[in-house]
Amino acid sequence: MVQARREYPEIYQILDQVKNAEATPFNLRERFHQQSQTFHDVMRQLIIEGQAEGSVAAGDPEQLVTAFVACFEGLTRLALHNPEQFKQSCPDASILLRMLQPEAHRQGNFISSPGSGSLLVIQAACYLYIDRSSYMNKRHLWKDIDEDASEASSRSPKAARNHEYQNK
């Protein structure tokens, strides 16, 4: 996720703006919410499983997911408001993953057990989720955005101007 945000910050800036714009149709906002909720639920379950096997830090899973997601949202905002700083100092995914590692891992006392797969799955989710989403989900999402904008343009002069501007 971090790598994708570093390489394609514009995509996340646009998605953030579309997600929060008043002109965005309700059904599209609902799709954003559903996708976010699915990611949240999967991450929460992986954290719970990782805590049970000792590969993820102890703590309230909801708080850990919220902190993790907030980091991604913050990176999107940083890219929007200060793109040069973002390009120069966007953290590597391993930095963000440290907040999920148990204390023993952070101190270099790695616990190597065959049952510590949840943290690896979380890592894979971080690296793959956005790439998959960028290619598959966002491709469909852009099609839906365009269709919804066309539909809205027939009802709203402001939406029509926005749709015209986007298609230049």
Residue 155 domain flag:
no
Whether residue 157 has pLDDT greater than 80 = no
Q: Is residue 70 part of a domain?
A: yes
The answer to whether 89 and 22 are in contact (CB under 8 A) is no
Residue 4 CB partners (closer than 8 Å, separation 6+): 11, 130, 131, 134
165 in a structural domain: no
Q: Is residue 130 part of a domain?
A: yes
Question: What is the extent of the structural domain holding 79?
Answer: 2-135
**Residue 143 forms part of a structural domain:** no
Tell me if 32 is assigned to some domain. yes
Between 32 and 142, residue with greater pLDDT: 32
Those residues whose C-beta lies under 8 Å from the C-beta of residue 93, and which sit 6 or more positions away, are 1, 2, 3, 123, 126, 127
Report yes or no on 164 lying in a domain. Answer: no
Condensed to tens digits (0 to 9), the pLDDT of residues 101-133 reads 887 665 554 444 434 556 666 655 555 443 433
The total number of structural domains that make up the chain: 1
Which pLDDT belongs to residue 151?
Answer: 52
- Do residues 65 and 40 make contact, with C-beta atoms less than 8 angstroms apart? yes
Q: Quick check: pTM over 0.75?
A: no
Q: Could you tell me which of 79, 64, 68, 66 has the C-alpha nearest to residue 15?
A: 79
pLDDT, one tens digit per residue, over 52-88 is 988 899 999 999 999 988 888 888 788 778 888 888 8
Mean pLDDT of 6-20: 74
In a domain, 123, yes or no: yes
> CB atoms < 10 A from the CB of 55, how many?
24
